[in-house]
Amino acid sequence: MTKIRKIHPWRRIVEIGQGVILLGLPFLKIKGESALRFDVPSLELHLFGLTLWMEEFFIVLVALIFLALLIIFITLLFGRIWCGWLCPQTVIADFTSFVDKAKGKGLPGKLIAWTATLLISIIVSADLIWYFVSPYEFIPRLIEGRLGNIIWGFWISLTVIVSLNFILLRQRFCATVCPYAKLQGSLFDSKTLTVAFDPRRREECIECMACVKTCPVGIDIRKGLNIACIHCAECVDRCATVMSPRGKNSLIGYFFGLPGEGGRIVRQNVIMIGALTAAFLVFFIYLLHIRMPIDMTVLPNYVFQPRISAGGSVVNSYIISVRNRGRENAGLKVRGDGIPGDIKIVPDKVLHVGAGEMQKFPVYISVNNLKGDKSTRDINIIIETVEGKKYVLTREAHFIVPEVK
């Protein structure tokens, strides 16, 4: 009798961990906001303590490219490890395996299994919505009966789709609907980690069919790699149980490349994709490092025509829009430079913009003793924070010198 080292308990631990993380993330608050949530009304993405605004979605795009490359990299190395161990479709299908077991138990057994699946689907669908509407807002609104038609509509629709998926499709979803499963075939190479039957030991197979019966997608792995295989390794454990009393190990296992051909983890394509993935990660971190919580736009104030004051100064007016994306209120001073003359700003006081707010300020710039006779100059309008961490932003604007009549 050979000692059996089952993979299933490890998979179950990983699946429980994944479930706890996905259910718990919307409840986890970092700096007062959900750890991961896209807030639809304000178009803000809360990302582990960071808040990214719509106009910063270039950073999100870089993060998405990094994630796509990471998926390609992991798939190239470890095949369908995501599908078998971490994909919510597989995890929930495993936790609702009573639906498969209820098939031979008549209508009452099926009704109980379907009802349990429906209850799980209600929670899963609510969890999906919590990545857009905070559970700290969702749950009180639900209790007080003011969830709103739109959220109810989404919740009911998602529940119907999720429950039908886990009652009718289940693991067939992976082979029929999932685009990632179809894409993976093209991401594998001859050395990728796969679950495979060891053909060198074919004579040892007793044709018990236990591996086929246990397979959630109903394939016979002994016939070779199959696109429907989600690499859950259930067949590995089943064959191990069959072979153990005969003093042998499982005929099926995880192999880098074909069994017996010697897998090589470090390969040219793995190094290239790995380097590209790392480059995008570094770029993403760099963008986060240089991003400013304060943003500013400057437009001419069209209700104030440039003019020459009684004292001889040239006066232009601008509307300065300041957005404070940070979590703290900002105090800002405006100044100007780039023009040969004495520059004065009105109002010459600290402007306050609350955390998460956008404010517009009319600003008058008066230049005395202006040198030269150009009718249009470029002026630098600068704002800088006067308290906390120092941020300085500069925008160029036209400064008009009207003709003296």
Provide the minimum distance between the beta carbon of 85 and ligand SF4 in the complex, in angstroms, as a whole number: 11
Give the x/- contact pattern for ligand SF4 in 170-199, rule: CB under 6 A. -------------------------x-x--
Q: Does 230 bind ligand SF4 (CB under 6 A)?
A: yes
Q: Does 235 bind ligand SF4 (CB under 6 A)?
A: yes
Ramachandran class of 43: left when φ > 0, alpha when ψ lies in -120 to 50, beta otherwise = left
Contact stretch for ligand SF4 (CB under 6 A) within 60-68, 113-121, 157-165, 238-246: 238-246
Provide the minimum distance between the beta carbon of 204 and ligand SF4 in the complex, in angstroms, as a whole number: 7
Rounded CA-CA distance 274/272 in Å is 5
> What is the CA 17 to chain-centroid distance, rounded?
18
Q: Does 209 bind ligand SF4 (CB under 6 A)?
A: yes
Contact stretch for ligand SF4 (CB under 6 A) within 46-54, 122-130, 157-165, 213-221: 213-221
Whether the Cβ atoms of residue 288 and residue 50 lie closer than 8 Å to each other? yes
| Complex with ligand SF4: residue 22 or 232, whichever CB lies closer | 232
Rounded CA-CA distance 79/82 in Å is 8
Provide the minimum distance between the beta carbon of 184 and ligand SF4 in the complex, in angstroms, as a whole number: 13
Q: Does 63 bind ligand SF4 (CB under 6 A)?
A: no
- Among the listed residues 239, 332, 339, 379, the single contact to ligand SF4 using CB under 6 A: 239
Provide the minimum distance between the beta carbon of 250 and ligand SF4 in the complex, in angstroms, as a whole number: 7
Whether the Cβ atoms of residue 332 and residue 338 lie closer than 8 Å to each other? no
For helices 106-130 and 8-24, angle between their N-to-C axes, nearest 10 degrees: 50
Torsional sign, CA 205, 210, 214, 215: positive
- Hey, is 199 helix, strand or coil? helix
Q: Does 203 bind ligand SF4 (CB under 6 A)?
A: no
> What is the CA 156 to chain-centroid distance, rounded?
24
First and final CA of the chain: distance in angstroms?
108
Q: Does 40 bind ligand SF4 (CB under 6 A)?
A: no
Write down the H helix ranges in 325-401: none
Provide the minimum distance between the beta carbon of 247 and ligand SF4 in the complex, in angstroms, as a whole number: 14
Provide the minimum distance between the beta carbon of 216 and ligand SF4 in the complex, in angstroms, as a whole number: 6
| Complex with ligand SF4: residue 163 or 194, whichever CB lies closer | 194
340-343: long-range contacts, CB 8 A cutoff, minimum separation 24:
340/370, 340/371, 340/372, 341/314, 341/367, 341/368, 341/369, 341/370, 341/371, 342/367, 342/368, 342/369, 343/367
Give the x/- contact pattern for ligand SF4 in 147-166, rule: CB under 6 A. --------------------
Fill in the DSSP letter of residue 5: -
Q: Does 219 bind ligand SF4 (CB under 6 A)?
A: yes
- Among the listed residues 30, 64, 177, 206, the single contact to ligand SF4 using CB under 6 A: 206
Q: Does 234 bind ligand SF4 (CB under 6 A)?
A: yes
| Complex with ligand SF4: residue 155 or 197, whichever CB lies closer | 197
Give the interface with ligand SF4 as residue ranges (CB under 6 A). Answer: 195, 197, 205-211, 214-217, 219, 221-222, 229-235, 238-239, 242, 251-252
